[in-house]
Chain A
Amino acid sequence: MDTVFFYIFTGLTLISALCVISFRNTLSSAVSLVVCFFGLAGLFALLQAHLLAALQILVYAGAIMVLFLFVIMLLNLGQKEISRVKMAFLPVVGILLGVYLIAILVLDFKNIPVSFPPLTIDDFGSIKTVGRTLFTQYLIPFEIISILLLIGVVGVVSVAKYDREEGTP
């Protein structure tokens, strides 16, 4: 049963990821990205990471994608397409590099024999286990992340309030 779900979620993730980088319309790319995040959330759930699966949908598919869609709507570039490629060699180099990277990684990874050991704790990946690790062992990084979020908020506001006429923040 798990195997069937694994292949369903894998197909969903990889095909929609391919759609993200190949669709010409930005809005279609954004919607494909949502599908990709849902597939990844399913894979997280198969790895017993239930809290992260929920967070993936809440934060990525909820918050980050709404931000993307807002910007797409605000920019309103639907009619004005990005001009067709003038530098023809860059995409070729990019695709070659990407395929080479994938080939190296796949050849390295495909012989790893590790299958998953049985779990020693019952509620592995639950909010209780992850929360206990987060607030004991990783308390200081957690606080630093909150400072990072604060810096992000201040930075976004200062960039957004930039006055174009006077040229001062």
Chain B
Amino acid sequence: MIGISHFLLISACLFGLGIIGVICRRNALVVFMSIELMLNAANLTLVGFSRVYGHADGHVLAFFVIALAAVEVAVGLSILLTVAGHTDDIDTQKMRFLKG
């Protein structure tokens, strides 16, 4: 029998994988993808609890998260393109020219 805890476990694993990706990877594009993974883990939790309580509120919140992720990716990738135009590299360890 599949219950809410199964979905929460998947969500936890996805979020942890996203955290590992953000901390370990130095490719800025993969860091963005890991952030997407974490947003999707949050979405899965929202939809799961929405199913438990029988309201559509969680679906609406997940819809907002999807819209927010679209904006975040667009802005982030355009900043990334500008940075790559300056330094010809997307290594997060080398992006130090904003340091005061």
Q: Is the CB of B91 within 8 A of A64?
A: no
Q: Is B98 an interface residue (CB 8 A)?
A: no
Closest-CB distance, A5 to chain B (whole angstroms) = 10
How many residues of B are in contact with the other chain, CB < 8 A? Answer: 71
Q: How distant is the Cα of A87 from the Cα of B54 in the complex, in angstroms?
A: 48
Which of A26, A98, A160 contacts B81, CB < 8 Å? A160
Which of A33, A87, A129 contacts B36, CB < 8 Å? A33
Q: Is the CB of B51 within 8 A of A72?
A: no
Q: Is the CB of A125 within 8 A of B54?
A: no
**Assuming A20-B30, A21-B17, A26-B29, is B56 touching A125 (CB within 8 A)?**
yes
Give the residue name and chain of the B residue nearest to A72 (CB): B29
Q: How distant is the Cα of A87 from the Cα of B62 in the complex, in angstroms?
A: 37
**Which secondary structure dominates where chain B touches chain A?**
helix
Q: In the assembled complex, which residues on chain A have CB atoms less than 8 Å from the CB atom of B51? A: 47-49, 116, 124-125
Closest-CB distance, B40 to chain A (whole angstroms) = 6
Q: How distant is the Cα of A141 from the Cα of B63 in the complex, in angstroms?
A: 11
Q: In the assembled complex, which residues on chain B have CB atoms less than 8 Å from the CB atom of A97? A: 19-20, 23
Q: In the assembled complex, which residues on chain B have CB atoms less than 8 Å from the CB atom of A40? A: 40, 43-44
Q: How many A-B residue pairs have CB under 8 A?
A: 241
**Which secondary structure dominates where chain A touches chain B?**
helix
Q: How distant is the Cα of A32 from the Cα of B86 in the complex, in angstroms?
A: 29
Q: Is the CB of B75 within 8 A of A98?
A: no
Q: How distant is the Cα of A91 from the Cα of B26 in the complex, in angstroms?
A: 10
Q: Is the CB of A138 within 8 A of B60?
A: yes
Closest-CB distance, B73 to chain A (whole angstroms) = 5
Q: How distant is the Cα of A125 from the Cα of B30 in the complex, in angstroms?
A: 32
Closest-CB distance, A8 to chain B (whole angstroms) = 12
Q: Is the CB of A52 within 8 A of B59?
A: yes
Q: Is the CB of B81 within 8 A of A67?
A: no
Q: In the assembled complex, which residues on chain B have CB atoms less than 8 Å from the CB atom of A110? A: 5, 9
Q: In the assembled complex, which residues on chain B have CB atoms less than 8 Å from the CB atom of A21? A: 17-18, 20-21, 24-25, 30, 33-34, 37
Closest-CB distance, B59 to chain A (whole angstroms) = 5
- Interface on B for A, CB 8 Å cutoff? 1-10, 12-27, 29-30, 32-34, 36-37, 40, 43-44, 47-48, 50-52, 54-57, 59-60, 62-64, 66-71, 73-75, 77-82, 84-86, 90-91, 93
> Contacts A21-B33, A85-B26, A124-B54 given; 13 further ones with Cβ under 8 A?
A21-B17, A21-B25, A43-B44, A44-B44, A52-B59, A52-B63, A68-B29, A94-B23, A105-B16, A106-B13, A114-B4, A116-B3, A155-B75
